[in-house]
Amino acid sequence: MADILASLRSLMASQSPPLDALLVPSEDYHQSEYVSARDKRREFVSGFTGSAGLALITKNEARLWTDGRYFLQATQQLSDQWKLMRIGEDPPVDAWMSDNLQKEAAIGIDPWCVSVDTAQRWERAFAKKNQKLVQTSTNLIDEIWKNRPPAEINPAVDHPLEFAGRSVAEKLKALREKLSSEKARGIIITTLDEVAWLYNIRGSDVSYSPVVHAFAIVTLNSAFLYLDKRKVSSKVSSSLQANGIEVRQYGAVSSDAAMLASNQLDQATGVNSGQNGVCQNDTCDNDLIWVDPASCCYALFSRLDANKLLLQQSPLALAKALKNPVELDGLKNAHIRDGAAVVQYLVWLDKQMQEIYGASGYFLEGEVTSKKIPNAPCREAMKLTEVSVSDKLEGFRASKEHFRGLSFPTISSVGPNAAIIHYSPQAKTCAELDPNSIYLFDSGAQYLDGTTDITRTVHFGKPSAHEKACYTSVLKGHIALGNARFPNGTNGYSLDILARIPLWRYGLDYRHGTGHGIGSYLNVHEGPHQISFRPQARNVPLQVSMTVTDEPGYYEDGNFGIRLENLLVIKEAETEFNFGDKGYLSFEHITWAPYQIKLIDLSILTPEEIQWLNRYHLKCREILGPYLDTNEMEWLKKATEPMKG
């Protein structure tokens, strides 16, 4: 790590002007949360593997900012060359740079990896000391990364209408109508899932996310897709052409953005998607270019005329979040198959924990009788690790219809590791399962008809009274949020408190948001809405046909972690009254897997909560039954026996 920082500082000093600091974000050219191996620049330079973080390297310091999900992980992974900066507790990066770097300091960025919003926020902070943001001509990390993974040529594929639910023609027509209503003549689309959704294509350029590295530009009469042309088969090319979409090389987006700004792009290409266009002549007075400042990179923004930009959230973000009936049916079906896989996993794991470790098992609270696992060399072959059991879970999912892979790296965590919110077990260093410790698994899959994300927390031995109280408090918050009714116009910021109140009663809390949207065979984390204490959760109200997770938790460093997660669909609520004629909304659970009854302290639950749990568990039996064999169904019946308060 010291050699990497030394090489980087030498390169920084050789720039013109010499750089006093360099910012290395987590994101790629598309502001993606999850990036390909060759785009993990911040991980390479810092050694921190979490999905969110920002590295700052100065002449004599190296600091990393990350959020509460990763405080413990970053503490463990950062070398003594680095200092951890806790977002929400320590000064934000722009304030720290403004206060601690010298007057007129030059701070370098790769403008392709930084959003417009972020770059402009930094520039405002730098103004008081005449510090300047310097756009480097190349990425300095790439220059010192000797074994950087090569770019892969993974094929783009069509996403069939039977799963997409809306045609490309329909989506382009709606987008162009939105452009026209906002006096815009074109839009630059930079986020990978928006490009994939709009053009009904999928790919495998990013692990766990079925997307293609691509940009798109759509005008009132034309449409363009920018990607490595080697990824486009004749079949995909034909379907794109049928919708008036011209395929261009990935790197051409920069020059085409400049041509779009000067109103020359349509004329230069001669492409006109006539059946989808809304402006068929030169009489349109639309003159703005729509750019989403939160996702468009600063490099493309710099090619445009700042006086003729519409800087607001992409219209595709909300359109993609509002699932159509086909997508909703697909998500529900995917979650049924996924729930069956989770139950099959629990049945298998319960048996293994009893046979190998002498655990009392999923249902009983006895002490471990004796460790039945033999000594080496047989021990290594028999023992269960966080990675080996998560591989087994993946196997159960892989047997299901339409399975295409995992939707994120499985968080399979035992005891103290479960307190690391986004823990990522590694085969060589992961823990062995322990019948005396809590086991948390947060996992999901990509199916052609939907993306899944579920978390359950279990104990195969005798949980302590404290563990039960914490689990039940998390469960109470989970139930409270899932049963909420709220008026139209309510945002996720307003609802977040519902999941925390049972924990607050004991002086407990958690450092992450409570819910995020999920894609339809797309990204497992999808906006623009969310349920969170963070201010951005105020930006978009929750609306009918959105999906959102319900996942409160509690984490005790060095001891255990608890999280419970279901996916919810927002629907209209049936209420006796309709105050203000607003209309009211509620949630529908579409995740099906039991909550472990022996971890529940029934004395803490209300009769209404017990009644809800019993109804939910009965539905688990009914819905998952057709996907389970006789033994698995008997286990599920036992796991969902009615509780009595």
- pLDDT per residue as tens digits for the range 572-617: 999 999 999 999 999 999 999 999 999 999 999 999 999 999 999 9
Same domain assignment for residues 25 and 111: yes
Q: 90 vs 61, 87, 441, 557, CA distance in Å? A: 16, 6, 30, 20
Tell me: do 306 and 196 sit in the same domain: yes
Confidence at 366, pLDDT banded by 50, 70, 90: confident
Domain count, the chain: 3
Whether the CA torsion 239, 273, 172, 228 is positive or negative: it is: positive
User: What mean pLDDT is reported for the chain?
Assistant: 94
Q: Are 50 and 73 in contact (CB under 8 A)?
A: yes
Distance separating alpha carbons of residues 79 and 76, to the nearest angstrom: 8
Between 69 and 159, the higher pLDDT residue: 159
pLDDT tens digits for 469-478?
A: 999 999 999 9
Whether residue 474 is contained in a domain is answered as yes
Alpha helix ranges (H) inside 358-420: 378-382, 386-398
Say whether pLDDT at 140 is over 70: yes
Give the model's pLDDT for residue 275. 45
**Size (the chain), residues:** 645
168-224 confidence digits (pLDDT tens): 999 999 999 999 999 999 999 999 999 999 999 999 999 999 999 999 999 999 999
Contact present, 205 and 213 (Cβ < 8 Å): yes
Is residue 585 a contact partner of residue 490, using CB atoms and an 8 Å limit? yes
Q: Which amino acid is it at 359?
A: A
Q: Which residue has the tokens 């819905």?
A: 623
Provide the pLDDT confidence category of residue 282 given band limits of 50, 70 and 90: very low
Among 145-154, 263-272, 422-431, 612-621, name the one with the lowest average pLDDT.
263-272
pLDDT value for 268: 60
CATH number at residue 419: 3.90.230.10
Same domain, 180 and 302: yes
Kindly report which listed range (335-349, 360-374, 508-522, 551-565) carries the lowest average pLDDT score. 360-374
Domain closes at, from 116, 144, 172: 144
Same domain, 60 and 131: yes
The whole-number pLDDT of residue 272 equals 46
The yes-or-no verdict on residue 270 having pLDDT over 50 is no
DSSP state of 643: P
Average pLDDT of span 264-289: 63
Q: Find the Cα–Cα–Cα–Cα dihedral 327, 333, 337, 343, rounded to 10°.
A: 110
pLDDT at 367: 81
pLDDT (tens digit, 9 = 90+) per residue, 607-644? 999 999 999 999 999 999 999 999 999 999 999 999 99
- Residue 266: per-residue pLDDT: 83
Angle at CA of residue 434, ends 431 and 438, nearest 5°: 95
Q: Is residue 406 one of the residues assigned to a domain?
A: yes
Q: Residue 117: name the closest of 384, 297, 307 by CA.
A: 297
Same domain for 14 and 64, yes or no, is: yes
Indicate if 304 and 346 belong to the same structural domain. Answer: no
Residue 271 has what pLDDT? 46
4: Cα within 13 Å, side-chain hemisphere? 19
Last-in-domain residue among 109, 144, 179: 144
Long-range contact pairs involving 501-508 (C-beta distance under 8 Å, separation at least 24): 501/477, 502/473, 502/474, 502/476, 502/477, 503/473, 503/474, 503/477, 503/552, 503/554, 505/473, 506/469, 506/473, 508/470, 508/473, 508/554
Same domain for 231 and 100: no
The verdict on 357 and 245 lying in the same domain is: no
Do 97 and 20 belong together in one domain?
Answer: yes
pLDDT tens figures, 387-403: 999 999 999 999 999 99
CB atoms under 10 Å from CB of 29, counted, come to 21
pLDDT at 379 over 80: no
Residue 27's domain spans which residues? 4-144
Q: Is 51 a member of any domain?
A: yes
How many whole angstroms separate alpha carbon 21 and alpha carbon 100? 11
pLDDT for residue 286: 82
Q: What tens digit of pLDDT does each residue of 400-449 get?
A: 999 999 999 999 999 999 999 999 999 999 999 999 999 999 999 999 99
Q: Is 180 inside any structural domain?
A: yes
Place of tokens 């090619």: 303
- Say how far apart CA 354 and CA 522 lie, in whole Å: 38
Query: Do the Cβ atoms of 469 and 463 come closer than 8 Å?
Result: no
Tell me: do 307 and 407 sit in the same domain.
no
Q: Are residues 76 and 168 in the same domain?
A: no
Tens of pLDDT, residues 97-107: 999 999 999 99
pLDDT at 37 over 80: yes
Q: Is the pLDDT of residue 33 over 60?
A: yes
Q: How far apart are CA 439 and CA 456, in angstroms?
A: 9
In a domain, 137, yes or no: yes
Peptide bond into 111 cis (omega under 30): no
**495 vs 486: CA distance, rounded Å:** 9
| pLDDT of amino acid 368 | 81
What stretch of H or E contains 618? helix 607-624
Percent of the chain residues past pLDDT 90, beyond the cut: 91
- Residues in Cβ contact with 10 at an 8 Å cutoff, skipping those fewer than 6 apart: none
Q: List 442's β-bridge partners, or say none.
A: 411, 455
Q: What is the mean pLDDT of residues 305-319?
A: 96
Residue 616 identity (one-letter amino acid): Y
The residue out of 78, 111, 144 marking a domain boundary is 144
* Judgement on whether residues 364 and 316 belong to the same structural domain of the protein: no
> What's the CA gap between 284 and 241, in Å, rounded?
25
Identify whether 274 is part of a domain. no
Mean pLDDT of 73-95: 95
pLDDT at 35: 94
Query: Residue 273 has what pLDDT?
Result: 43
pLDDT at residue 375 tops 80:
no
Measured between alpha carbons, how far is 614 from 594 in angstroms, rounded to an integer? 10
Does residue 248 lie in a domain region? Answer: yes
Per residue in 230-239, is it b (16+ CB within 10 Å) or e — as a string?
Answer: ebbeeebeee
Query: Residue 279: what pLDDT?
Result: 56
CATH number of the domain enclosing 253: 3.40.350.10
Asked if residue 413 belongs to a domain, the reply is yes
